[in-house]
Amino acid sequence: MEKIFLDTREMEHPEPLQLSLSHLKTMTETQYLYMLNVRKPIPLLEIAKERNFLSFSHQDANQIWHILISKNRQISLEELLDV
Amino acid sequence: MFSQGGLSLEQAPPISVVFRFFVTASIFGILLGLFLVADSFGLSLTLNKSVIITHTLALGIMASFMLGSLFQMLPVIAGVVIKMPTKKAMVVHILFVVGVIIQLYAFAYTSTPLLYFLASAYLGVGLFYALFLMLKELIQIKDHSSSSKGMILSLSSFGLAILFGIYLLWSLGGYLDGSLFLQIKELHYSFALFGWLSLLIVSVSFQVVEMFYVTPKYPIWMSKYLTISIFSILIIKSIAIFMGFPSQFITALLTILFIIYGVITIHRLSLRKRPTSDATVWLWRLGIGLLICSMLITLVSTFINIPMEVEMLNYLFFIGFALSIVFAMTYKIVPFLTWFHLSNQGYIEAPMMHDIVHPKTVKKHFYIHVAMLVSLALFIILDYKILNILGAILVLASFGWLLYNLIYAIKKYNYTQKYTEKFEW
């Protein structure tokens, strides 16, 4: 699986949402988005859910959110978590 | 928008809900500008000039912006949803606008008591309905943030300000004897300005300053206790006024809290992680700077008599504070909401936020806004008529420019929906 890495921790709102959505729109079955953010991006996760994407979110010990989203629903995103 | 509380796509309000209030605010701003231009040439025919200007600003402009922003920000900041927002916002909007117009007319032509009653009826029903819609959802939140708690206190303050306002209108209309008129008047503007307006800005800033401008968080003691402290002090002030006790020290305490908040906010904004050139940050800095100046003057005036010119400057600074923050928020909300809806609807050619409201557009508004404040401040100090005329024209230009930008965003939204293709993804 090809990782699309997006670190939005120092981006001003709503740049993280804009960038992540543009990645989701062009994503193929062999790619997944790996996003780092300081907040849980609820709207992005809602959009992903509505569009039938697979998503997984995890907050690490430093309070950073790791957001993984894939078009391919057959994979385990949890295994791709990098903490 | 990002929130721990959650925002689903159905929950994001349609753009008409927010834009109807913003457009209304801009139109009231233009009307205020026209009134000030006419007045600067000696053409206004009313004696109640100051009360008309105050209520056009506080209700027509500020309350419109605040209501529109609340319909947008409640799901974002507090994670609460107002169901069927389009219809409900329309009902609030109609009652509110009719109420404001009748009220201004009543102030201009004081000889018609019925107008005061009608103004109180329309404004009372419209605004209490809006408060009911918002508070009903807010108080049900299980896991409150400092912003959602602050919003409850701010809306409660607004409710009290409206109640006091109704008493004042009924007294002016001759329906009540008005024996408590002066006390209620002081509480009316204390709850409206310190409670509703300032408390709302403080509550919202706890989330948006950090979120929009990537700053360090506010100190926990501040986000946790500031809003409840301000509200409690306002309640204590009310009791003191009714009991006939002096309330200067209470007002002084209130101003000190706002000064501390202002200094910390300016400091937070100076610690932005990615300091880019953004006129909305300039507006925040200007607004908070003016809040500090206004509160310093209020603090001094509680202990010594200040000249009339300084008192007038104080009013101008406070108005400048509120308008600066409202403009900053509007220029963040409008492009985001337009882009968010179009993007989510799947339009391939959905304009990006910079295409809807370009940063240079906001900078132009910032310069007009600053020029307006400087002209009016110099007029207060120097008393040159030309500065009054210039200031009035700049008020007109400021709201005219804002209205133009709002209409541009609406046209862009409609054009994209009508003429571009949708993308299924």
Measure the CA–CA gap between B254 and B257, rounded to whole angstroms: 5
Closest CA relative to residue B362, chosen from B390, B392, B335: B335
In a domain? residue B185:
yes
What is the nearest CA distance from A63 to chain B, expressed in angstroms? 13
Cβ of A46 within 8 Å of Cβ of B7? The answer is: yes
Of A10, A17, A40, the CB nearest to B214: A10
Closest CA relative to residue A64, chosen from A24, A35, A43: A35
Closest chain B CA to residue A50: B9
What is the nearest CA distance from B207 to chain A, expressed in angstroms? 11
> Coil, strand, or helix at residue B181?
helix
According to DSSP, residue A62 is labeled T
Residue B87 is part of which domain span?
Answer: 1-143
Residue A55: its H or E element: strand A54-59
Q: Which structure tokens are listed for B183?
A: 């006390």
> Coil, strand, or helix at residue A36?
strand
Are B189 and B131 found together in one domain? no
Question: A interface mutation test: which of B147, B269, B425 has the most A CBs within 10 A?
Answer: B425
Closest chain B CA to residue A23: B425
**What amino acid occupies position B191?**
F
Closest CA relative to residue B96, chosen from B70, B122, B132: B122
Cβ of B211 within 8 Å of Cβ of A13? The answer is: yes
Measure the CA–CA gap between B405 and B407, rounded to whole angstroms: 5
pLDDT by position in tens, chain B (length 425): 434 444 445 557 889 999 999 999 999 999 999 999 999 998 877 778 999 999 999 999 999 999 999 988 887 777 787 888 999 999 999 999 999 999 999 999 877 899 999 999 999 999 999 999 999 999 998 888 899 999 999 999 999 999 999 999 999 999 999 999 999 999 999 999 999 999 999 999 998 898 889 899 999 999 999 999 999 999 999 999 999 898 899 999 999 999 999 999 999 999 998 777 899 999 999 999 999 999 999 999 999 999 999 999 999 999 999 999 999 999 999 998 898 888 888 887 788 888 999 999 999 999 999 999 999 999 999 999 999 999 999 999 999 999 999 999 999 999 999 988 887 66
Give me the number of domains chain A comprises: 1
What is the nearest CA distance from A47 to chain B, expressed in angstroms? 7
**Cβ–Cβ < 8 Å for A60, A40:** no
User: Which residues on A lie below 8 Å from B278 (Cβ)?
Assistant: 12
Measure the CA–CA gap between B353 and B337, rounded to whole angstroms: 9
Are B4 and B130 found together in one domain? yes
Q: How far is CA B207 from the centre of its chain?
A: 17
**Cβ–Cβ < 8 Å for B168, B225:** no
Closest CA relative to residue B11, chosen from B334, B337, B330, B332: B337
Chain B stretch 264-283, residues whose beta carbon is closer than 8 A to a beta carbon of chain A: 273-274, 276, 278
What averages of pLDDT result for each successive group of 10 residues across chain A (83 residues)?
Answer: 94 88 92 93 84 94 95 95 91
Q: Which structure tokens are listed for A5?
A: 């890495």
Q: How far is CA B191 from the centre of its chain?
A: 14
In a domain? residue B396:
no
In a domain? residue B97:
yes
**Cβ–Cβ < 8 Å for B26, B402:** yes
Using the Cβ of B213 and the Cβ atoms of chain A, whether some distance falls under 8 Å is answered with yes
User: Which residues on B lie below 8 Å from A21 (Cβ)?
Assistant: 343
Of B9, B273, B343, the CB nearest to A46: B9
* pLDDT value of position B425: 65
Q: Which structure tokens are listed for B275?
A: 């300091």
Measure the CA–CA gap between A58 and A37, rounded to whole angstroms: 10
Measure the CA–CA gap between B93 and B97, rounded to whole angstroms: 6
Question: B interface mutation test: which of A7, A13, A55 has the most B CBs within 10 A?
Answer: A13
Spell out the alpha helix ranges (H) of chain A. 15-26, 42-50
Residue A45 is part of which domain span?
Answer: 2-80
Give me the number of domains chain B comprises: 2
- The per-residue DSSP string of B65-119 comes to HHHHHHHHHIIIII----SSHHHHHHHHHHHHHHHHHHHHHHHHSTT-HHHHHHH
CA end-to-end span of chain A: 18
Spell out the alpha helix ranges (H) of B302-347. 308-344
* pLDDT value of position B347: 84
User: Which residues on A lie below 8 Å from B276 (Cβ)?
Assistant: 12
Closest chain B CA to residue A49: B8
Cβ of B2 within 8 Å of Cβ of A42? The answer is: yes
In a domain? residue B130:
yes
Angstrom distances, CA of residue A27 to CA of A3, A51, A69 = 11, 12, 10
A15 C-beta neighbours (distance < 10 Å), count: 14
Cβ of A47 within 8 Å of Cβ of B344? The answer is: yes
Buried b (16+ CB within 10 A) or exposed e, A28-44: eeebbbbbbbbbbbbbb
* pLDDT value of position B47: 75
Are B41 and B111 found together in one domain? yes
Cβ of A40 within 8 Å of Cβ of B9? The answer is: no
Strands A31-37 and A54-59, bridge-based pairing? unpaired
Residues B173, B176, B181, B183: is their CA dihedral positive or negative?
Answer: negative
Are B232 and B269 found together in one domain? yes
pLDDT in tens, B405-415: 999 999 999 99
Buried b (16+ CB within 10 A) or exposed e, B12-50: bbebebbbbbbbbbbbbbbbbbebbbebbeeebeeebee
pTM given for the model:
0.90
Q: Is the peptide bond before A14 cis (omega within 30 degrees of 0)?
A: yes
Chain A residues within 8 angstroms (CB to CB) of chain B:
10-14, 16-18, 21, 24-25, 37, 39-43, 46-47, 50-51
**What CATH number is attached to the domain comprising A36?**
3.30.110.40
Cβ of A17 within 8 Å of Cβ of B1? The answer is: yes
* pLDDT value of position B344: 80
* pLDDT value of position B4: 41
* pLDDT value of position B11: 56
ipTM of this predicted complex? 0.74
Cβ of B336 within 8 Å of Cβ of A10? The answer is: no
Counted across chains A and B, CB pairs separated by less than 8 A come out at: 64
In a domain? residue B415:
no
Are B138 and B193 found together in one domain? no
Are B59 and B89 found together in one domain? yes
